[in-house]
Chains A and B, each alone.
Chain A
Amino acid sequence: AQKVTQAQTEISVVEKEDVTLDCVYETRDTTYYLFWYKQPPSGELVFLIRRNSFDEQNEISGRYSWNFQKSTSSFNFTITASQVVDSAVYFCALSEADSSASKIIFGSGTRLSIRP
């Protein structure tokens, strides 16, 4: 069964601090895809990143970085030098390659609040 766990329900940090959002997933497939989406107060889910299960290279995009470790089934997301505009709910998600629907299984989200 597929499952995505985001154990941190809420995180609050002061601006300019670094923050890491944890994501642990479960799947029986050997080929799968992992995602992070951001949901600001406006409600629209914004795509951040997609990784496939064969690519364990960490990725950095500006202040954002992602750490994918198959050994621990984790796909953690770090924001460096956080800003107030980073305040949002962040969802980690999983899609299995043999699912023709490409339907995404989402975690329950982590609400991140950045205090000025």
Chain B
Amino acid sequence: DTGVSQDPRHKITKRGQNVTFRCDPISEHNRLYWYRQTLGQGPEFLTYFQNEAQLEKSRLLSDRFSAERPKGSFSTLEIQRTEQGDSAMYLCASSLYRGGIDTQYFGPGTRLTVL
């Protein structure tokens, strides 16, 4: 069973540039989550999708951030006009939600460095 994959694994960019990350969930998982993890901290929830619908966004997700899951499979997270404070690990997780609680399985993350 293929796990959650994320691309790229590392991204270095200059302040002000736009970046886009991709997440491919476990096949047939209907939920997809994005988290951000800064050094020495646990992951923080950003947003999640159920199929193609984005159902919740954290207040951490500023207007410069946008996420999509157009066909209910892979998802992209775009950051526009990056700032140094955006430097973090961006984690994607997926789950099979059938009501109740779902267990989230995480990908390896994309480490973003903004210079």
Residues on A lying within 8 angstroms of B by beta carbon are: 4, 33, 35, 37, 42-47, 50, 52, 91, 93, 95, 97, 100-109
Q: Give the interface size bracket for B toward A.
A: 20 to 34
Assembly CA distance A101 to B104 (angstroms): 11
Residues on B lying within 8 angstroms of A by beta carbon are: 31, 33, 40-45, 48, 55-56, 89, 91, 93, 95, 97, 100-109, 111
Taking a contact as CB atoms closer than 8 A, the residue among B40, B55, B104, B111 that contacts A108 in the complex is B40
**A residues within 8 A CB of B95?**
102
Contact between B104 and A44, CB atoms less than 8 A apart:
no
**A residues within 8 A CB of B103?**
35, 47, 50
Contact between A104 and B108, CB atoms less than 8 A apart:
no
Contact between A93 and B101, CB atoms less than 8 A apart:
no
Shortest distance between the CB of B18 and any CB in chain A (Å):
24
Contact between B56 and A101, CB atoms less than 8 A apart:
yes
Taking a contact as CB atoms closer than 8 A, the residue among B40, B91, B97, B111 that contacts A102 in the complex is B97
